[in-house]
Structure formats: structure tokens, C-alpha cells
Structure 1
């Protein structure tokens, strides 16, 4: 039972459903068998390794959360550090001599057991007056000692094997500081740092598998104020925007948690989320595999063979629960997963056109992608213009960065609902350019990512390769 005040505990309880989803994201993936290739590399989010391993493995030993809060009176800050601790499980078979010997696989009547890393949930809790966090702040060290245990396996009263479990020692540190911010609003900047300080020295060529049992896995924080409020890091009020923009979180993403409109709880997650994230109400259980939707996972899991289900049940208690959930899901419940309507609006009647909720460029007579022009460096660029491609680093499609310095032809000037302009481009010397053009499939660049070149080319005509590029454009291409 948590030792937090009732108000904070209520806020944490409302946020724990999404926090649990963060904790177990990717824990075991469909088809929920330890032997599946996609379950060979696990623990992808929020892994804090021992500091001596960071140079070898390239992962981090700490995470840092910075956020803005408004404490009130003699406020107290509640901190709940949550993470998984890897528990390595091996399998042994009973021998005729009365002992046990390690095996890779042990078949029982209802399940198949293999080696597997289980995740044991750990929590570190702190409750600190906010005024004590100024200056040097507060540090809380913790140690989780190594533990070993065995589970005897019996069938029809006879010992057939055992599971041997081992958890390694993990040492950690939580550091909390608060800095008063200038201005009339009495806001503060909170810095919360979580560190793995385990003294483990990895052997030469140590693998990630060696480091995981000594790591904090899926580490994240729940932060709560007894009376005050947190400021959104993604949508702050104007008065707090400068202070929020100066916050520097590392390896974590702070969001407001709990019901919409409440600001007393903040979740600092290793996965990027929006404020007040929530699990869909149609979801009946944790499926762990967020790359699929619940309906597909439920159907695929129910379609596993009996042998596959036996292995999944032996993989882990959490995997076994997924199999049982899929097998017991009635058709009317499965149908709920097919889709949900979150809201309805009346778009009929005389006022429907006047109340159109957004601008539709396809129905705007003043928009013509084939004839529109946009000024780039003093030149009018539109369909048929030759351009030098200079994709910026902000692009989400990394493949376009390989086109830097190549030339292309603008096929259309497009406008989106946010008022931004995009140039649809085909790349010169691309043997598939005619096919892409016929299918309406192009590369898209913003005006500041191209440099105009030479004369326009009539649409549909081939562009001669090796067209001259002005020296200034060449220089810019090299600089980019």
C-alpha cells in the first residue's frame, strides 16, 4: 500500500493504467512465444544500464526530467519511480538419481517451458516538501539486493523439474532539485534525475544480455503535487512558455497524466505521449504489442495452434494471460474492437456549408496545383520548374536526405489545411519518373528546401539529364 496522501494517491491511481502500459510496452510480442525471433531482442524503452557499460553498449545510465510546476503553500512532491527488474529464468529437469539437470526445453501437460527473462515490477517512493528541494535538493539512494529462488514443478504428484530464477543486485539514485523562476507567477522548475549507479564492471566484450539483469528497464516517473499543479510541456500558457522552452529533459518525455483538465500528476515516460494519454475503453486487457491493433492481435492469437499456445503459456504468466484472454473473448466483445465512434456532428441542413469545420483545398476554386506558383529566392516556382533539392534535417523521411544535391522537376504546388506549401517533385535521371508521374506519386519538399534552376520544363516531357547547375547552387549543395 502506498504511503502517499489520499489526494495524491487518487491522482496516481488514475494515471497508473497508462503508466502500466508504458512499463510493459513490448514486454512480449505476438505470437507470445519465447522462441519467436521478435522476442529475442527485448526491453527497448527506458533502459538505464550500469554506468561502466555505457561506453560499450551505447545506452544511457540516467534519465533527466525538467518541468515547470506551481507549488502552493507548504506543498509536498510525491515521486514514484517505476521500472522492471530482469529476472533470469532457467529450466531444469528431474533426473532418475533424484537431482536436476539444466535443459533448453521441458514439456509439461499444459505448457512448454524454456529459458526466459521475466520482468519484476519495482517501485521507489519519495514524499518530500517542495521547500526542501531548493538549493542542493534531495538525494535518495536505493539498493535492490540479488535474489535467487526455485519453483518445483510436479505432475500427478511427481517432481518433473524446476524453474531457477535469479535477480542481480541493482543500485540506483534519485536526485530532486527545484529552482525558483523569475516573474510574478511563483513558478518553479523541477529537475528529477534517475541514475543507475550499480558498480558492476562489465567483462571485455560484454553483451547487452549481460547488462540487462543489472539495469532499470522501462524506467519512468510519476510525479504528484499535494496542492499545486504542473504546467504542460507541450501546450503551456503564454506566461510559462519561455520557462518551459528552457527545460531540457533527457531520455524521457513529461506529460500531464490522469483525467482531462487535471494538472496534479505528471508522467515522465521513455515513450513520447500526448497530455492526458489514455487506453481505449474497448481494450479488455494488455496485449503488449503496440505495433498491432487489439482486434488483429486477438484474432491472430486465437488462431494459434494448440502446440503454439502451450509454448506461449510456458513463456510467461503475462503471455499465458494473453492466450486465455483471446480464447475466452466472446464474439460480441470482439466486435467492439472493430471500431468505435467517439463523437457525432450534424453536417446536414441549411447551415452545413457555412459551418464547414476546415478548409478543403480540393474544393477551393482559387487553388490549382498545376498553375499555382510560389516565390523561392525571388523566382516563381511551379509545375515544370527545375530545382536543386536541399532537404533539411527536420524531415521525417530520412530517405529524402540522400537526394541532397540532386535535381528534380516540380509537378505541382500543393497547400495543406495549416497553410503550408509543399512542392511535389520527380527526381531527374530517375528511370521510374514517368511511372511515378502517371500514378501521382511524388517526393515532397518545402519551398526553402529547393533552389530554382534554369527554365521551366513542359509537364509530361522528359528532362534531359545533366542540366547545368549555377555555380552558386553547387556551392549551396556542398554546404548542405
Structure 2
């Protein structure tokens, strides 16, 4: 997947975060309070006192070339009234091409409405680029989005949302040059990073985590180089949840509840249909994957003894702060399957229990119990 496709995939997750939550029915209380992320309301409804705003800003650092062109993709949802209890969403994308040499620039935009189910939206995008002080070059890029829609406010949020930009975010890209990480910038850029100001948007590098040609300006704070889990079979509209839990919960819905969910929204119907026809092997994939550990090497030395794949050990788990289930493993023997290191450099020994009849199956699926080297006692050394 190239960086632009990756940015779109993450942007889609942001676009529909919280759009529709389990149990995916319009009658559910949680689905009557919607549109929490990236909401830019019309100016007549905006108020800092109630936490509603009509604009957003992102600032990030760019190392441009002589002829860099900034491409900005503004993405958001617009509500489409379905009935008195439910509003659907219409996706919008607006593209801007802004040569850096022509900044500052201001670009108005409009989204037509049909006068009944959707309402006309208007806004303006502004951009500017300011050279950084010092000998290292670089530019501070600032992009603002404003909802300028005219609407005589009646003070009702649900009505204001029909004139709002929802889940608004930006994809910034350059044809030449590159953006710098705001989380882990080079040393010379750290003072400039500290002066950057973010308002309801957060810049995230897509692709390379030190420099990239694409930045996602997200209303949800993310780490650099975010990615959709490859095990995820489709949208559940809650990117912070666990797919397996939501899938199993959806399976427990009654036929009547599923009918109501299908009638709520086409996207809810797609979830229920996908869960109803999900094959067992796909559900098995959702059980989880470990990505934060890596092989530490072929072995680790414990009490002067080399412990590696195939070594037999006795478990002596430290019960303070550990899983309570570990008390049942004290003194049991196990076979080492792999020695791993996590992102902090700590070593973990992955084992299967010798008296577990499913040990070989667990090994085949890569499911182990993990212990630190001080929680095992070597019995036999692997050949």
C-alpha cells in the first residue's frame, strides 16, 4: 500500500469513527448523540463555552524544494436527514493545489444542498508557509479550515449539525520535499516544533516515521505511521475497540434487533450481514496478534545457563503485579518456543506448558505464555 492509499485508509477510519456504535440501532441511546470528532459548526452556533467551534488549524514542519507544490485534500461528512431520529452521512472531498511560492493563499469552497434532506455548506481554506529561523532551513506550514455557512441558529445542536462539516480532516502532500515528524523531529527542529499550534487537528506522518511526503491532519491524536490492522475484515465504526469483541457482541443480537439495525443505515446492515456470514477461520484471525515484540536472538542466559528454543524450564512467576492466573503455574515445567524482545528492550521467554494437551496446537498458532528470564529456572538446555 502506497502512502496516499494508507492516508486514505486511516482517513476513512477517522471519517466514520463513532458514526454508528454497537448495537447499531437508531434507538440506542449512544446513537442519539453523534458526531463528536472533527465537528466544525456554523459560526452562529460556535461557542467556546459549550465546546463547539467553526474552525480548525494544523501547523507542521516542511523541508521544501525550490518548486514544491502543496496538495491539500479536505475530507468531511455532511448529514442527510432520513427521519426525525436518524441522519445519514454524505462523504465530501475537496482538493486544493497550492504552490508554496504563492502562499499565503485563501480558497473558498461550497457544497450544494438539495434544500430538503441536505443544506448548502460553505467554507474557506487558508494556507501560509513561513521560513524557520536558523541555519538549517525548513518551513512552518499552517493550514486553517473555516466553516462560513450562514445559518440563523436556533440553539439546537442536532439542527446545527445539518450545517456543519463533520469528522473534518486534511491530507497534506507534497510532490517534492518532505514533512518532518512532530513527535520525533531532528534535534535542530525541536524548538520550532514546540512553537507549532494545533487546534482540533493533529499532524501525523504517513509512511516513513522520520520524514514523509504525506501528512494526515487528524481530529484524533495518533502516532506517526498509523495503519489499519490487516486482520480487520471491515468497518465497525469504533477504531479504539477490539474487532473480536464487537463481532461477538453483534452475533448475540436477536433477529428483531438485527432487523432494526439493518433498517437504521446501509452501513449498519453491512455490518450485520458480514457478521452473519463470517466464516470461522476469519473470526479466528480476530483473536489477536502481537506486533510489539521481535526476536531478541537465539537464546538468553539464565543463572549462567543458555536458554533457547527447545529448552525445558520450570516456571517461577513473580506474582506481584502479574496475572492472578500465574499462581497456578508455579513449579510447572514448560518448553521454550522463542526468545523475544519488546520495544523497550526487555526480554521475554515464550513457552508452552509440558502438561498442556493443546501445546502443539498453540505453538502452531503462535500462542504462548510469556515470562521474564528471572521467572524461569533452566532444567534442560536445547541442543
- Structure 1 SS opposite 2:72: strand
Structure 2 counterparts to residues 59-138 of structure 1, below 5 A = 59-90=52-83, 115-133=85-103, 137-138=104-105
Structure 2 counterparts to residues 155-234 of structure 1, below 5 A = 166-203=117-154, 206-234=155-183
Structure 2 counterparts to residues 262-301 of structure 1, below 5 A = 263-301=212-250
* CA deviation after TM superposition for structure 1 residue 291, in Å: 4.8
* CA deviation after TM superposition for structure 1 residue 284, in Å: 0.8
Structure 2 counterparts to residues 57-456 of structure 1, below 5 A = 57-90=50-83, 115-133=85-103, 137-147=104-114, 166-203=117-154, 206-258=155-207, 263-342=212-291, 343-346=293-296, 349=299, 351=301
Q: Which residue of 1 aligns with 2:16?
A: 24
Distance 1:168-1:250 versus aligned 2 partners, 3 A rule? same
* CA deviation after TM superposition for structure 1 residue 186, in Å: 2.4
TM-score, normalised via structure 2 length: 0.75
- Structure 2 SS opposite 1:250: coil
Distance 1:140-1:352 versus aligned 2 partners, 3 A rule? farther
CA RMSD of aligned residues (A): 2.5
- Structure 1 SS opposite 2:220: coil
Which structure has the larger Rg? Answer: 1
* In 1: Cα distance, 2:303 partner to 2:267 partner: 52
* In 1: Cα distance, 2:150 partner to 2:188 partner: 44
User: Residue deviations 1:17-76, cap 9 Å, x none?
Assistant: 111000100000001000111101000000001111113843011001111101112110
TM-score, normalised via structure 1 length: 0.61
* In 2: Cα distance, 1:353 partner to 1:74 partner: 62
Distance 1:350-1:57 versus aligned 2 partners, 3 A rule? closer
* CA deviation after TM superposition for structure 1 residue 325, in Å: 1.3
Q: Which residue of 2 aligns with 1:46?
A: 38
* In 2: Cα distance, 1:227 partner to 1:241 partner: 22
User: 1:295, 1:338 within 8 Å by CA — same for their partners in 2?
Assistant: yes
* CA deviation after TM superposition for structure 1 residue 280, in Å: 0.8
* CA deviation after TM superposition for structure 1 residue 345, in Å: 2.1
Distance 1:305-1:191 versus aligned 2 partners, 3 A rule? same
* In 2: Cα distance, 1:196 partner to 1:350 partner: 59
- Structure 2 SS opposite 1:307: helix
* CA deviation after TM superposition for structure 1 residue 290, in Å: 3.4
- Structure 1 SS opposite 2:73: strand
- Structure 2 SS opposite 1:182: coil
Q: Which residue of 2 aligns with 1:394?
A: none
* In 1: Cα distance, 2:24 partner to 2:259 partner: 10
Aligned pair count reads 308
* CA deviation after TM superposition for structure 1 residue 141, in Å: 0.6
* CA deviation after TM superposition for structure 1 residue 289, in Å: 2.1
